[in-house]
């Protein structure tokens, strides 16, 4: 099975490589072919800890762990995407950042020989055969914030022999939820599994320190919205501002290419609007976030937050960022992708799901009138999660 995998992987690499190079060139990214074939030399450092974070999402999730461990260890980070590498170089200026080698045995071996790390820590669900198996022959390999979706579990079961080999090569899995624990227990013994909780609870505290001149106004923030969610929120806003004259609506569309569509909708509804890139004052009816990476910082100015992709049948976006800020989070009934987080936060009345716009309007009205006091002490929960990860990682670094 391993020989078949290596043969097919090698074949696909040489077939796909020209496409990969051309696609990234068009996007303005370097493909780093020399790095992927480990065609370089570098000096190793003592106490090097290797983190593999496939892309930007994983780089953000691993941030609190890397920050805690960088005090005692030199940090080596590998990424899968050119965009992820650019991001890692900016976010982790103290780390050595490389594109991950192609998943071939001799390349993985050469990479480990160059850097001589004390352990490999893989974020979430990057279960590449040689990356895991070959590295585990030399050093401990751990998985943090391990995520196994139902579709991934079905795929792993279809190829049980090879995934059992991969997964049993890990020294330990530090998983985010009971569901992930259950899926992994099909392949590996329970003594390799530790439930620590979702690292996103910790990493979601990262945000830009930005300024917004709220001037005492009540604010609804609609984050990561899709069509037709803006229309629903605008209707609710127009109805509620009759009761709350100083009410303002902030819209942060998931995709900035929809800005013209949203502006046209606001013009049709005869609402004034302004853009984040133009002002930091909430003088217009609607304030549009037309920037990238600022939404998490905007949430702290909200009285009520709606998170998108939940009326539109997308499955939901990040409800942790506003919850970490202690804001009441309102969503629709399409939350399949964030179900575990929804159920956890629901226990503390930190998130509310509604079936339609009328329900949402009544709920937002109540939250604006009565105010909101969070029942979950996020800071204590964050520390508990992070300590679990650090403690279990450090057991393998002695």
Active site residue 58: yes
Q: What is the distance between the alpha carbons of residues 173 and 160, in angstroms, rounded to a whole number? A: 18
Cα first-last separation, the chain: 35
The token pair at 182 is: 């259950």
Using DSSP's 3-state secondary structure scheme, residue 134 falls into: helix
User: CA 376: distance to chain centroid?
Assistant: 21
The token pair at 265 is: 């909708």
The token pair at 221 is: 């923030």
Catalytic pick from 35, 46, 58, 369? 58
DSSP code at position 100: P
The token pair at 321 is: 């960022």
Please, are residues 126 and 154 in contact by the beta-carbon 8 Å criterion?
no
Please, are residues 82 and 24 in contact by the beta-carbon 8 Å criterion?
yes
Helices in 168-258 by DSSP H: which ranges? 178-184, 200-203, 229-240
List for the chain the helix, strand, coil content (%; round to 5). Answer: 45, 15, 40
In terms of Cβ atoms closer than 10 Å to its own Cβ (0-12, 13-18, 19+), residue 254 is middle
From residue 178, give the alpha-carbon distance in Å to each of 8, 175, 187: 34, 8, 15
Other beta carbons less than 10 A from residue 27's beta carbon: 9
Helices in 223-277 by DSSP H: which ranges? 229-240, 259-268
Helices in the chain by DSSP H: which ranges? 2-26, 33-36, 56-61, 63-69, 82-91, 105-115, 129-136, 150-158, 160-167, 178-184, 200-203, 229-240, 259-268, 295-298, 320-324, 339-346, 357-370, 378-394
Q: What is the distance between the alpha carbons of residues 229 and 317, in angstroms, rounded to a whole number? A: 13
From the list 117, 162, 156, the residue with the least C-alpha distance to 135 is 117
State the catalytic residues. Answer: 58
């Amino acid at each position: 099975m391993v020989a078949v995998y290596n043969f097919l992987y090698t074949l696909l690499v040489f077939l796909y490589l020209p496409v990969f190079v051309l696609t990234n060139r068009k996007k303005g990214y370097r493909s780093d072919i020399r790095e992927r074939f480990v065609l370089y030399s570098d000096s190793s450092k003592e106490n090097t800890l290797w983190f593999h974070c496939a892309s930007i999402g994983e780089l953000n999730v691993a941030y609190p762990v890397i920050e805690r461990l960088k005090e005692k260890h030199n940090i080596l980070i590998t990424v899968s995407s050119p965009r992820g590498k650019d991001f890692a170089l900016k976010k982790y200026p103290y780390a050595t950042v490389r594109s991950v080698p192609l998943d071939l045995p001799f390349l993985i071996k050469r990479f480990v020989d160059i850097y001589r790390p004390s352990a490999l820590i893989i974020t979430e669900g990057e279960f590449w055969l040689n990356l895991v198996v070959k590295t585990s022959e030399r050093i401990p390999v751990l998985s943090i914030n391990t995520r196994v979706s139902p579709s991934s579990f079905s795929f792993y079961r279809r190829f049980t022999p090879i995934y059992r080999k991969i997964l049993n090569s890990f020294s330990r899995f530090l998983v985010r939820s009971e569901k992930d624990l259950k899926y992994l227990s099909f392949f590996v013994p329970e003594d390799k599994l530790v439930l620590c909780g979702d690292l996103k609870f910790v990493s979601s505290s990262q945000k830009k320190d930005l300024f917004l001149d709220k001037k005492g106004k009540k604010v609804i923030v609609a984050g990561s919205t899709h069509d037709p969610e803006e229309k629903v929120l605008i209707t609710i806003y127009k109805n509620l501002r009759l009761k709350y004259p100083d009410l303002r609506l902030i819209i942060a569309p998931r995709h900035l290419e929809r800005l013209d569509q949203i502006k046209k909708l606001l013009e049709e509804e005869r609402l004034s609007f302004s853009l984040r890139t133009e002002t930091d004052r909430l003088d217009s009816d609607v304030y549009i976030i037309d920037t990238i990476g600022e939404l998490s910082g905007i949430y702290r100015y909200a009285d009520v937050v709606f998170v998108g992709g939940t009326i539109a049948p997308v499955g939901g976006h990040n409800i942790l960022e506003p919850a970490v800020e202690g804001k009441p989070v309102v969503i629709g009934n399409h939350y399949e992708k964030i179900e575990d987080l929804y159920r956890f936060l629901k226990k503390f009345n930190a998130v509310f799901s509604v079936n339609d716009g009328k329900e949402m309007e009544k709920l937002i009205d109540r939250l604006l009138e009565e105010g909101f006091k969070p029942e979950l002490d996020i800071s204590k929960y964050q520390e508990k999660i992070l300590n679990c990860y650090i403690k279990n990682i450090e057991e393998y670094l002695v």
